């Protein structure tokens, strides 16, 4: 169970770092730039812990799928970026794919 918690921490850290990447304005602003570097450092550290027991393909699929959805939501909430119906449907399919993989696949390390 710790490995899934580690993966969740990695995903949240990556989401925060990527959101700060936009705010860093090309690394020209110190605080958001620091958040980017620290956030990605934390994200990759916890992803590496996750890979001790969860197969890399599974971990990366969950990481990237959840990250896409969370970044899109952060863009909408923080930066006022619009999400149209095709974007929402696409994110729904990503979420469905991650759920199917975790519920039905024997490769997830459960």
Q: What are the tens digits of pLDDT across the range 45-90? A: 999 999 999 888 889 889 988 999 999 999 999 999 999 999 999 9
Reported confidence tier of residue 109, pLDDT bands at 50, 70, 90: low
Residue 108 DSSP label: S
Reported confidence tier of residue 110, pLDDT bands at 50, 70, 90: low
**Rounded CA separation 79/73 (Å):** 10
Helices assigned H by DSSP within 51-84: 56-79
pLDDT(14) > 90: yes
Tell which residue, 54, 36, 46, has the closest CA to residue 9.
Answer: 46
Full domain range(s) for residue 56: 2-104
In a domain, 83, yes or no: yes
How many domains is the chain partitioned into structurally? Answer: 1
In a domain, 95, yes or no: yes
């Amino acid at each position: 169970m710790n490995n899934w918690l580690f993966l969740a921490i990695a995903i949240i850290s990556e989401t925060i770092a990527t959101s700060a990447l936009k705010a860093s304005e090309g690394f020209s602003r110190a605080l958001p730039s620091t958040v980017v570097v620290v956030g990605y450092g934390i994200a990759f550290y916890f992803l590496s812990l996750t890979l001790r027991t969860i197969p890399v393909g599974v971990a990366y699929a969950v990481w990237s799928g959840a990250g896409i959805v969370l970044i899109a939501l952060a863009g909408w909430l923080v930066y006022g970026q619009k999400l149209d119906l095709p974007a929402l449907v696409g994110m729904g399919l990503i979420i469905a794919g991650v759920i199917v993989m975790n519920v039905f696949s024997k490769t997830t390390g459960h």
